[in-house]
Amino acid sequence: MLALRLLNVVAPAYFLCIALVTLGLQFFLFLPRMREDPTAARLFSPALLHGALFLFLSANALGNYVLVIQNSPDGLDACQGAEARRALCPPPSTHFCRVCARVTLRHDHHCFFTGNCIGSRNMRNFVLFCLYTSLACLYSMVAGVAYISAVLSISFAHPLAFLTLLPTSISQFFSGAVLGSDMFVILMLYLWFAIGLACAGFCCHQLLLILRGQTRHQVRKGVAVRARPWRKNLQEVFGKRWLLGLLVPMFNVGSESCKQRDK
């Protein structure tokens, strides 16, 4: 239990450090390199477009990250009263989280990177957090590849060029041919690639469960859920104004979580 509580503190700090490093590299290394292009137009320069797109991705990722932390899943007593707390057989979708030390409704899993349980109130924000984190990481990797390609005069036309970049750069770094800052960017490329793919896979898996009307906790426990149309399951999580939630980090706008019953 002590190890889990320690991980619940270390993982959010790790994520915030990666986010700060990514922001620093974008605005102090990649963008200044783009502004050095004398042929670029001033109004629609690559630096301006790149900065606007990256701000959009990072603002949505960090905004939904904060909302996941703020919107803790409802406790058992919030919707079912004192009688349900004394019941011998609580609803199958409830779960007691040892890290949070509470029983939550529509429990999906405990996310250590946010330090919070994922459930009815913050599921949509968690899915969007994974989506925009993966997009921000993969977009940062593309910008980093362009930077390394220009600085070290490396061509990535061959499909295996990215896979052989790290071992080649390590040998050149110890021989003095690659600077420490460039080596740090190369290491970040692989970290962005790994985080981006992991978040994208987790986002797709979570969306599949939402379409089925299930949670990860129900799948692990083998709890059967009543079949419903996938549109209704999707609307229950994302709400009616789902398109606005894709563009701007906002609270869940669907039905009240206390009115949602376990299916």
Give the pLDDT confidence of 55-79 residue by residue, as tens digits.
999 999 999 999 999 987 766 544 4
The alpha carbon torsion through 139, 145, 151, 153 (nearest 10 deg) reads -150
> Is residue 139 a part of any domain in this protein?
yes
* E strand spans, 68-126: 95-97, 102-104, 109-111, 116-118
Total domain count, the chain: 1
| Ranges under pLDDT 70 in the chain | 36-44, 74-93, 252-263
> Is residue 257 a part of any domain in this protein?
no
Q: Which residue segment(s) compose the domain that 23 sits in?
A: 1-36+47-78+89-154+190-247
> Is residue 201 a part of any domain in this protein?
yes
Residue of 79, 111, 137, 203 with catalytic role: 111
Closest CA to 58 of 116, 143, 162, 121: 143
Residue 219, Cβ neighbours under 10 Å: how many?
13
Let me know: does 123 contact 68? Beta carbons within 8 Å: no
Let me know: does 147 contact 29? Beta carbons within 8 Å: yes
> Is residue 42 a part of any domain in this protein?
no
> Is residue 198 a part of any domain in this protein?
yes
37/117 Cα distance (integer angstroms): 47
Give the pLDDT confidence of 39-55 residue by residue, as tens digits.
555 656 778 888 899 99
> Is residue 159 a part of any domain in this protein?
no
Q: What is the pTM (predicted TM-score) of this model?
A: 0.86
**7-18 per-residue burial string, b: 16 or more CB within 10 A, e: under 16:** ebeeebeebeeb
> Is residue 179 a part of any domain in this protein?
no
Is 111 a catalytic site residue? yes
> Is residue 253 a part of any domain in this protein?
no
Q: Average pLDDT of the chain? A: 84
29/95 Cα distance (integer angstroms): 46
